[in-house]
Structure 1
Amino acid sequence: MQTFSITPDTPFTPMSDLVREHARQRPGHAALRDDGLALNYAQLDALMDRVAAALQRDGVQPGQAVAICALNSARYAALFLGVLRAGAVVAPLAPSSTAESLASMLRDADAHLLFIDKAAQELVPQGAGAPRCISLDGIAQGQSFEDWLAPEGARPAPVQVQPEAPFNIIYSSGTTGTPKGIVQSHGMRWTHVMRGNRYEYGPGGTTLLATPLYSNTTLVVFFPTIAFGGSVVLMGKFDAARYLQLAQQHRATHTMLVPVQYQRIMALPQFGDFDLSSYRFKFCTSAPFSAALKADVLARWPGSLTEFYGMTEGGGTCILDAHLFPGKLHTVGKPAEGHDIRLIDEDGREVPPGEAGEVVGHSAGMMTSYHNQPEKTREAEWFDPAGKRFIRTGDVGRFDAEGFLTLFDRRKDMIISGGFNIYPSDLEAQLRLHPAVEDVAVVGVPSEQWGETPVAFVVSRAGQAARAEEVMDWYNQRAGKTQRLADLRFVDELPRSAIGKVLKRELRDRYAGPAR
């Protein structure tokens, strides 16, 4: 039997076809596992067929969106892959969203099927126009997943998938504002798969994932693991001690964690009691990763440590192999092979070598667009004089003499809390609806638990009396879990520049309090 393998010369192959090939070659090899379900590649392939056949039975056409709002599970991962086999587009949505945000994302994606579990059941829209719900866990509302599936042995009609076809829509924010849907193509995901050659993915590897499947952070590791025929162990919710138990039990070789998760794991007194010698590659992305924490991981956790700097929108990626460059831990590394990273000034001109500027990037892995938001798409793009398209990051950085990128401030005042993006303008808009709020600014402050956490500075409306705790409680009851305020302070006025811009750096510097 000829053995299939992915090499740097392998032409584009749809993810669904890769699973089929692994099921043919290694049907009994472990593919997906959670606390209650384990699937080998034969079982995964058959379940994907049943999902795709059920979608086709229900009239879902290639290119149409299917939404999933649930915690990690093997069933969730198999469903994601089955939707791809039908040629449909996955819209993975966060259970931490507000009901309003979830409804907005469902409308934007035009998803008529929504798969949920108990974590999302209270968020689901009701009434006319609401999507049909399928219960992944048999607890949430809707038809049970098992009853919805096509019969055992069902095979879907084949679908031809091209690289430019949409793969998924990742929503950039689950805040009280309007999230942006980032359309990623099969070709973009294929570039992530091809990068897997560098990191020794394969049938002998086991990837332990504790970040959610609705996050691009997770998917850039999940799909290469499956594409190369490895095994994935999924945690529904992250717990540092449980993570170490699973890592030892399953002899994990690969993982993706955000900095706050590394911090919590390394802080456990019993960290040294676990056998982590099986690890070969550990990855990190999504939030600032301090040099001190990187050094601690390198000193006490076997295997290499690689940091990725980039955006869900794609464009350029920088890679820091921390184990190879211990003197560069304050940087995010060098541009990945084939990635063009440049720095521009406020007028859109490239800055001279050695100067700081906004980071923009070009690569084969770039979003197609923001779904249904052409103006936002244009705002995110920069073109060089030759017409080459780049994605703007909003981050300010500078290259050193050896080509390593150091990041400074974020031009956009985005807050990254627990690895998730929070847009202060969305929180501010909601807070302004409170009758006691005249003006407000939300900033991110350091947090031992989350890395960063949002804090609001409020100017009270004349004649309206309210305690800070009351306003914060009012807001937090309306916010998604990841967008809740850690603190709220009343101030006489907000500091502003001569042209009226709020000086958020000054607010961050003046804050001193218990950031939870």
Structure 2
Amino acid sequence: MTTTDPLEATIAQDFGLIADLVRVHAAERPNSIALRDSERTLTYSALSTLMDRIASALQRDGLQKGDVIAVCATSSVHYAAVFLGALRAGLAVAPLAPSSTPASLARMQGDAEAKLLFADATTADVIGPEIANGIPRIALDSSDVGRDFDDWLAPAGTLPAKVELQPSSPFNIIYSSGTTGEPKGIVQGHGMRWSHVKRGERYRYGPDTVTLLSTPLYSNTTLVVFFPTIAFGGQVILMAKFDVAGYLQLAEKHRVTHTMLVPVQYQRLMAHPAFDAHDLSSFQFKFSTSAPFGAILKADVLKRWPGGLIEFYGMTEGGGTCILEAHLHPDKLHTVGRPAEGSDIRLIDDEGKEVAPGCDGEVVGNSAGMMVGYHRQPEKTREAEWFAPDGKRFIRTGDVGRFDGDGFLTLFDRKKDMIISGGFNIYPSDLEAVLRGHPSVADATVVGVPSELWGETPIGFVVRKPGDTTDPAVVLEWSNAQLGKTQRLAGLYLIAELPRSAIGKVLKRELREQHARG
């Protein structure tokens, strides 16, 4: 069946370009709002025009198809427009985390071989002289961090040269969070992003969509919702920084329909005393990914927050996705769902052989949405790959899980975080679930530390609920009474807040180092 609707016709294609869809929306609904932040809004007509000026300026500066620009800034309308404009010029974008150190940013910018760096006042101190490396800087705001954005743009009415792109053409280079060491550049192709657009209709993306995003644009977590919203002609509201009260006010004011939040944000929202006083009836879908999402918290979201709840499990590297439609499967909240259409998810043992049904194994995945590889690190790419006996390529996740009889995947832990104590395998997530069950505990995590007697032994870190004064020794005794003999915690420590990355992952490496320092 053919369609005369330009949007439907484009999305029906096996492969297309998100930047081209912006042109479609600019022609069909020029006055619809595409982007909004605290200072400005852009309609689709204005966005497409700005993208042309950005793409033309990049080509004027000598950048060619496949070249890379870097962005290190707070989420904003201009940030988003630069990302989209670079795509229209056929370039790849390396969005860099402002929370990184200047030295780490310099290494990432150099690794990406970026030709230009876009920044703003909030990151001026972070990027510092180390990241300059002779690379021209453009200021996304009116600060003096680089050349003025408006002055740098090509004149109004300038059109960029058209470029031809393939599914394997680089779309962006996402740098891993660096929670376990030096970040690696994950090269994602246009085909991977298009696969996210293709599944958009299932989640009711369309011209009436209003998506509120408070996670940063340098995170793949954000982009898996940002780009489908733009592709389908919806509106994206960007928060520069998440805060519970501000989020709830924006959600109610703008009748938000879609959002992406990491579990710790759901936790803080649901705990806010004014949460139930806000009208959130406009929500259609809420998404989550990036970190473990407890079943109790999922159940609370389902009970008190209108709209469907979707959990995505996968890696920035791609290689397959599991999807839990929590509102449809309330009895499976302890899982991360079933493999998405087109995703081949398998479990393998330490020798690289597939495990028998019902057994634990490392999760590996294959899909159309797979990274090309780690940028300029072929050996790291090979380490991340597993090949089936028939030669099919999979990406290793490093997670340990098990499929149940209905095909739902339960995750136990990161393979590297599994604790081997006295020859027994201990999954920290099991211990964390027990700790969180104590009425005085607001948050908790468990790590393994060296032990002369056992090789490794588990210790816990807990955050108490506001106003609570329970002695950690009481919580430790209570928890150990519920754990098996080999699982018992050797120690429990109070901490004001668990160290987390910008997208909510607990930085266990920091806790291990903190404990080692005494």
Q: Same fold (TM over 0.5)?
A: yes
Q: Report if aligned partners of 2:446, 2:459 keep a CA contact under 8 Å in 1.
A: no
Selected match of 1:407 from 411, 429, 432: 411
1:171 maps onto 2:175 in alignment: yes
What letter matches 2:93 in structure 1? V
* Structure 2 CA distance for aligned equivalents of residues 374 and 11 of structure 1: 29
Q: Report if aligned partners of 1:118, 1:140 keep a CA contact under 8 Å in 2.
A: yes
| Match of residue 222 from structure 2 | 218
Percentage identity across paired residues of the two chains:
62
| Match of residue 303 from structure 1 | 307
SS at match of 2:493: coil
* Structure 1 CA distance for aligned equivalents of residues 264 and 216 of structure 2: 14
Normalising by structure 1, we get a TM-score of: 0.83
Structure 2 CA distance for partners of 1:233 and 1:149, relative to 1, 3 Å: same
| Match of residue 259 from structure 1 | 263
1:495 maps onto 2:451 in alignment: yes
* Structure 2 CA distance for aligned equivalents of residues 298 and 374 of structure 1: 43
Selected match of 2:105 from 102, 118, 127: 102
Selected match of 1:5 from 4, 7, 30: 7
* Structure 1 CA distance for aligned equivalents of residues 453 and 152 of structure 2: 58
1:510 maps onto 2:494 in alignment: no
Structure 2 CA distance for partners of 1:20 and 1:496, relative to 1, 3 Å: farther
| Match of residue 287 from structure 2 | 283
The 5 A counterparts of 1:91-490 are: 91-126=94-129, 129-174=133-178, 177-413=181-417
* Shift in Å, 1:452: 6.4
| Match of residue 84 from structure 2 | 81
SS at match of 2:127: coil
Q: Report if aligned partners of 1:259, 1:451 keep a CA contact under 8 Å in 2.
A: no
Structure 2 CA distance for partners of 1:88 and 1:450, relative to 1, 3 Å: farther
Structure 2 CA distance for partners of 1:270 and 1:151, relative to 1, 3 Å: same
Q: Report if aligned partners of 1:217, 1:285 keep a CA contact under 8 Å in 2.
A: yes
* Shift in Å, 1:112: 2.3
* Shift in Å, 1:207: 0.5
* Structure 1 CA distance for aligned equivalents of residues 228 and 453 of structure 2: 47
* Shift in Å, 1:131: 1.7
* Structure 1 CA distance for aligned equivalents of residues 265 and 390 of structure 2: 42
Structure 1 residue runs without a partner (length 5+): 415-442, 458-493
SS at match of 2:227: helix
SS at match of 2:359: coil
For residues 63-108 of structure 1, give each alpha carbon's deviation from its aligned partner in whole angstroms, at most 9, with x where no partner exists. Answer: 0110000111111101100000110110000000001110010010
SS at match of 2:398: strand
* Structure 2 CA distance for aligned equivalents of residues 51 and 267 of structure 1: 42
Higher mean alpha-carbon deviation, 112-121 vs 330-339, is at 112-121
* Structure 1 CA distance for aligned equivalents of residues 250 and 402 of structure 2: 39
* Structure 1 CA distance for aligned equivalents of residues 225 and 80 of structure 2: 13
For residues 145-189 of structure 1, give each alpha carbon's deviation from its aligned partner in whole angstroms, at most 9, with x where no partner exists. Answer: 111111111111111121110000000024694210000000010
Structure 2 CA distance for partners of 1:326 and 1:74, relative to 1, 3 Å: same
Q: Report if aligned partners of 1:495, 1:506 keep a CA contact under 8 Å in 2.
A: no
Q: Report if aligned partners of 2:446, 2:460 keep a CA contact under 8 Å in 1.
A: no
Higher mean alpha-carbon deviation, 132-141 vs 41-50, is at 132-141
Structure 2 CA distance for partners of 1:147 and 1:175, relative to 1, 3 Å: farther
* Structure 2 CA distance for aligned equivalents of residues 204 and 259 of structure 1: 26
For residues 323-367 of structure 1, give each alpha carbon's deviation from its aligned partner in whole angstroms, at most 9, with x where no partner exists. Answer: 000000000000001110000000000000000000000000000
Selected match of 1:69 from 72, 80, 97: 72
SS at match of 1:184: strand
SS at match of 1:170: strand
SS at match of 1:232: strand
For residues 7-54 of structure 1, give each alpha carbon's deviation from its aligned partner in whole angstroms, at most 9, with x where no partner exists. Answer: 773231111111011101110011000010100000000000010011
1:26 maps onto 2:29 in alignment: yes
Q: CA RMSD in A?
A: 2.3
Q: Report if aligned partners of 2:33, 2:41 keep a CA contact under 8 Å in 1.
A: yes
Structure 2 residue runs without a partner (length 5+): 419-427, 462-488, 498-518
* Structure 1 CA distance for aligned equivalents of residues 191 and 209 of structure 2: 24
Q: Report if aligned partners of 1:53, 1:150 keep a CA contact under 8 Å in 2.
A: yes
What letter matches 1:60 in structure 2? L
Normalising by structure 2, we get a TM-score of: 0.83
* Shift in Å, 1:130: 3.5
What letter matches 2:451 in structure 1? P
